Amino acid sequence: MDNKLLYYFNKWVKLTPEEEEIIKSSFESCAIKKKKDLLEAGETCKYVYFITKGCLRSYFVDDKGNEHIYQIRMDNSWISDLQSFFTQKPSHYYIEALENSELLRISFEQLEKLYTRIPKLERYFRILFQKAYINALERLNATMWDSAEDRYQTMLKEQPDMFQRVPLVYIASYLGITPESLSRIRKKK
C-alpha cells in the first residue's frame, strides 16, 4: 500500500503487523476526477476519506445560490462531512475534487467494526479530532476578530502550498471574503 495512512496511525498508536493488515483491508481505494463531486447536499455521507494525493473542497450553497467553502484539503489529510457521517443523515454540504485525486475510504459500518477490533484506534481519532477542534476554534477567532488582510497574510505564511494549487476564487471563499476583496488585498503589497 503506497500511502502514508499507516504511518500517521503509527505516529500516535503502536500497531502490530496483524492490526495493520486489518486496517488495510478495512479501507478501499478510490479515485475521483477534477470537478466531480465526492458528496452532494441531500445525500448521506457514507465514508470518511483519507486523501493520498490530490486536492478537494467542502462547501455549502446558501439561499441565494452562492457557494461558501469551509474546507480545502490536500495530500495526507482526512475529508468527510462528519455531521452526516456520524448521524447517517443527509448532508448539507458538497465535497468536490479540485484536482484528480486518489483516496482511501472507509464506511460507517466498517469504521465501527474497526473500532471494536482495534480499540486503540479510538485514541488516534480522539487526538485527531482534538487537534481539528483546537484548529477550528483558532480559525473561528481569526474570522471574528482579524481583518481580511490579516487572515490572508496568515494563510500565506501557514499554507503557502495552497496558493500554488488552488484558484484564488476558492481561497477567497475559504477566507470568508469575495474574490474582489482578495484581489484588492493582494494589490496593496
- Report d(CA 151, CA 29) in Å as an integer: 35
C-alpha cell at 145: 476578530
Instruction: Report the residue from 24, 40, 86, 147 that binds a second copy according to the rule CB under 8 A.
Output: 86
Does 143 engage in binding with a second copy (CB under 8 A)? Answer: yes
How many C-beta atoms surround the C-beta of residue 103 within 10 A? 24
Does 134 engage in binding with a second copy (CB under 8 A)? Answer: yes
- Report d(CA 53, CA 77) in Å as an integer: 9
Number of helices (H) and strands (E) in the chain: give both, helices first: 9, 8
Contact 3, 75 (CB under 8 A): no
By a kind-dependent CB cut-off of 5 to 8 A, residue 122 interacts, out of DNA, a second copy, none, with a second copy
Calculate helix-pair angle for 148-158, 168-175, nearest 10 degrees. Answer: 120
By a kind-dependent CB cut-off of 5 to 8 A, residue 169 interacts, out of a second copy, DNA, none, with DNA
Binding residues for a second copy, how many (CB under 8 A)?
A: 30
By a kind-dependent CB cut-off of 5 to 8 A, residue 82 interacts, out of DNA, a second copy, none, with a second copy
- Report d(CA 93, CA 59) in Å as an integer: 6
Which stretch in 17-25, 49-57, 80-88, 100-108 sits in contact with a second copy by CB under 8 A?
Answer: 80-88
Q: In angstroms, give the least distance from the CB of 127 to a second copy.
A: 8
Contact 48, 78 (CB under 8 A): yes
Which stretch in 4-12, 18-26, 49-57, 142-150 sits in contact with DNA by CB under 7 A?
Answer: 142-150
Mark residues 42-71: x for contact with a second copy by CB under 8 A, - for none.
------------------x-x-----x-xx
